[in-house]
Amino acid sequence: MEASSLSPRVWPLYLATFLSTYVFAVANISVPGMQAALDLPGSRTTLVIGAYSVSFAAGLIICGRLGDTFGRRRLFRIGIAAIFVCAILTALAPTVELLVLGRLLQGCAAALTTPQILSTIQATLEGRARSRAISGYSIFAGVGTVGGNIFGGTINSLFPEEYGWRAAFMSIAVIAAIAWAGTGYLRESRSPDPEGFDFPGSALVAFALLCLITGLTNAAAVDPLDPFSSPGMIALTVGLLIASAVGFLVLGRHLQNRELSQRPSVLPLHVIIEPGVKIGMVLAALFFLMMSSFMYNFAILTQQGMGWSPLHSGLALLILAVAFVGSSTVATRLLDSIGPKILLIGAGFQALGLGLLAVVSFLGAEPFLLWLQLVGILIGGGQGLMFGPLIAVVMNHVPDRVAGLTGGLIATAQQAGMGIGVATLSSLFTVLLAVFPARTAFGWVLVVAVALSLTFGLIATRLVRPRPQAG
């Protein structure tokens, strides 16, 4: 069935896709305001940012199964309504503890919503209509990250510093309300043969990710010049990382046992071992690790290191955002003609752009804003060529009957990458700021990002050409 007047209107799905990364990016650009209003140190700030990704990633797969069983439109409506409520709670949070709790709940709400997006597209559209919708998903997911910095920065600048971040968080509620109003256009769908639930496995995923991201985040609180001055923080960090390693080991054994006994599994091995799925999940995590940490570090550099306003900081990424959208619109067509090599080309463009920006940062070249626009074309254009085709590759390697799992796998890798990115590269930036000037510290983090971009391209060479869509 091609797109026609009978096809469902999918714009609410696009808005929810935008929200899934916008929520993360708005927090990034609002960091200075949050720190001023709540007296947050750098390590606590990364915990506020990462809390959303932890609960988001932990709940995605089981929420995809819930949609397959009880109805994707129903779960989508519940999730969007919960995002609306949580946005208000975080915007009004009087303390950092309540803000972290609100962010955790917001991640749970997003976990209800996000896996229903791709599964609804896969279940209700076919042929070119499905391909266009998947392309739209990729574009809106990426634009939400950059748009969060632009729109969030604009909103922050319209209010005093201590209130701007609250207004930016409230914008999430406005978008969620619009998306919820449009859910009447969506068709209800369920899997004809839904996978069962694996609650112990879901709990193990949540535990392992929570310990990993929290442990990596706590590492930033250790003074690099005098690490033994805070033995309690070192002990807590090591304990969390050990607990995470144990959690992942137990999870691996649990998955093997579920597979051997042919019982439902939170991460079915027979799906994950598919080359396109396995490699695609790694690439999705790696992509958003780089993208999320870049946006966070850029906000800190420009607002705290260079004295820019949130509006100035956000609008500085406009060219990068335009380049991302432009390359994303042609990426899936290029995928049809040259195959997964397009991912390697995109990674090369991004690595070149990040490398040039690192040189600009090390040299202190001025005007920084002009140099940023020039390299932003390479960075944003490369990112668009990387992410759009990646989604198409993964979607084409997962059976329709586990469409909810498809959305869960992609979004889990995406959100885990975002959380780990803030916990590692952004924490690294925080540590380097204690040793180097802001632009030098930013340059060294960019060098690491260049290495990760090249790693992305190397792994992408192992992807096989996706099989043609049915229809």
Per-residue model confidence (pLDDT) at position 469: 47
Q: Which H or E element spans position 13?
A: helix 11-29
Q: Which range of residues forms the domain containing residue 93?
A: 11-188+196-460
Q: What string of DSSP letters covers 406-452?
A: HHHHHHHHHHHHHHHHIIIIIHHHHHHHTTS-HHHHHHHHHHHHHHH
Does the pLDDT at position 160 exceed 80? yes
Q: Are 381 and 326 in contact (CB under 8 A)?
A: yes
Give the pLDDT band (50/70/90) at residue 435. Answer: confident
Burial of 434 (0-12, 13-18, 19+ CB in 10 A): exposed
Residue 103 CA, distance from chain mean position: 14
pLDDT at 222: 65
Instruction: Enumerate residues 6+ apart whose C-beta is below 8 A from 28.
Output: 49, 148, 149, 152, 292, 295, 296, 299
- Would you say residue 350 lies in a domain? yes
Q: Is residue 469 part of a domain?
A: no
Q: Is 1 helix (H, G, I), strand (E, B) or coil?
A: coil
Given a cut of 80, whether residue 86 has pLDDT beyond it is yes
Tell whether the model's pLDDT for residue 397 goes beyond 70.
Answer: no
pLDDT tens digits for 241-274? Answer: 999 999 999 999 999 998 888 888 877 777 777 7
Over the chain, what is the mean pLDDT? Answer: 83
Give the per-residue pLDDT at 225: 60
Please check the confidence at residue 213 and state whether its pLDDT lies above 70: yes
Cβ–Cβ under 8 Å, residues 392 and 332: yes
H-type helices in 125-198, by residue range?
A: 127-157, 161-181
**Residue 38 lies inside a defined structural domain of this protein:** yes
State which H helix or E strand residue 87 sits in: helix 72-91
**29-76: pLDDT as tens digits:** 888 888 888 887 666 777 787 788 778 877 877 787 788 888 889 999
At residue 4, the pLDDT reads 38
Tell me the whole-structure pTM to 2 decimals: 0.79
Tell me how far apart the alpha carbons of residues 409 and 352 are, in angstroms, rounded to a whole number. Answer: 30
DSSP-derived letter for residue 160 is -
What pLDDT, on a 0 to 100 scale, did the predictor assign at position 291? 87
Give dist(CA 469, CA 130) in Å, integer. 9
Residue 7: DSSP 8-state: S
User: Comparing 98-107, 219-228, 304-313, which segment has the lowest mean pLDDT?
Assistant: 219-228
| 439 assigned to some structural domain | yes
Worst-scoring range by mean pLDDT, 73-82, 162-171, 376-385, 405-414? 405-414
pLDDT of the residue at 3 = 39
Note whether residue 5 is domain-resident: no
Contact 120, 397 (CB under 8 A): no
Looking at the 3D structure of the chain, how many domains does it have?
A: 1
What is the structure's pLDDT at 6?
Answer: 44
Measured between alpha carbons, how far is 81 from 83 in angstroms, rounded to an integer?
Answer: 5
- Determine the average pLDDT of the residues in 424-448: 90
Whether 278 maps to a domain, the answer reads yes
Under the banding of pLDDT at 50, 70 and 90, the label for residue 1 is very low
Evaluate whether residue 287 is within a structural domain.
yes
**What's the pLDDT at 370?**
93
Distance CA 240, CA 324 (A): 37
pLDDT digits (tens, 9 = 90+) for 281-299: 888 899 989 988 898 899 8
What is the model's pLDDT at position 227? 64
103 and 48 Cβ atoms separated by less than 8 Å? yes
- 47 found inside a domain: yes
Q: How confident is the model at residue 99 (pLDDT cuts 50, 70, 90)?
A: very high
First CA to last CA across the chain, in angstroms?
7
Please tell me the predicted confidence (pLDDT) of residue 50: 76
Q: What share of the chain is helix, strand, coil (3-state, %, to 5)?
A: 80, 0, 20
Residue 471 has pLDDT above 50, yes or no: no
Residue 176 has which token pair?
């969620």
Cis peptide preceding 94, ω within 30 of 0: no
pLDDT tier, 400 (very low <50, low <70, confident <90, very high otherwise): low
Task: For residue 388, name the pLDDT band (cuts at 50, 70, 90).
Answer: confident
d(CA 258, CA 371): 53
CB 90 within 8 A of CB 170: no
Q: Which residue has the higher pLDDT, 134 or 30?
A: 30
Q: Say yes or no to pLDDT of 91 above 90.
A: yes
**CATH, residue 410:** 1.20.1250.20
pLDDT at 353 over 70: yes
Query: What's the Cα-to-Cα distance from 116 to each of 279, 284, 454, rounded to whole Å?
Result: 22, 18, 32
Q: Is 125 left (phi over 0), alpha (psi -120 to 50) or beta?
A: beta
Q: Please tell me the predicted confidence (pLDDT) of residue 328.
A: 84
Whether pLDDT at 2 is above 70: no
Q: Give residues with Cβ within 8 angstroms of 97, minimum separation 6.
A: none
Please give the residue that has the higher pLDDT: either 148 or 440.
Answer: 440
DSSP structural state of residue 6: T
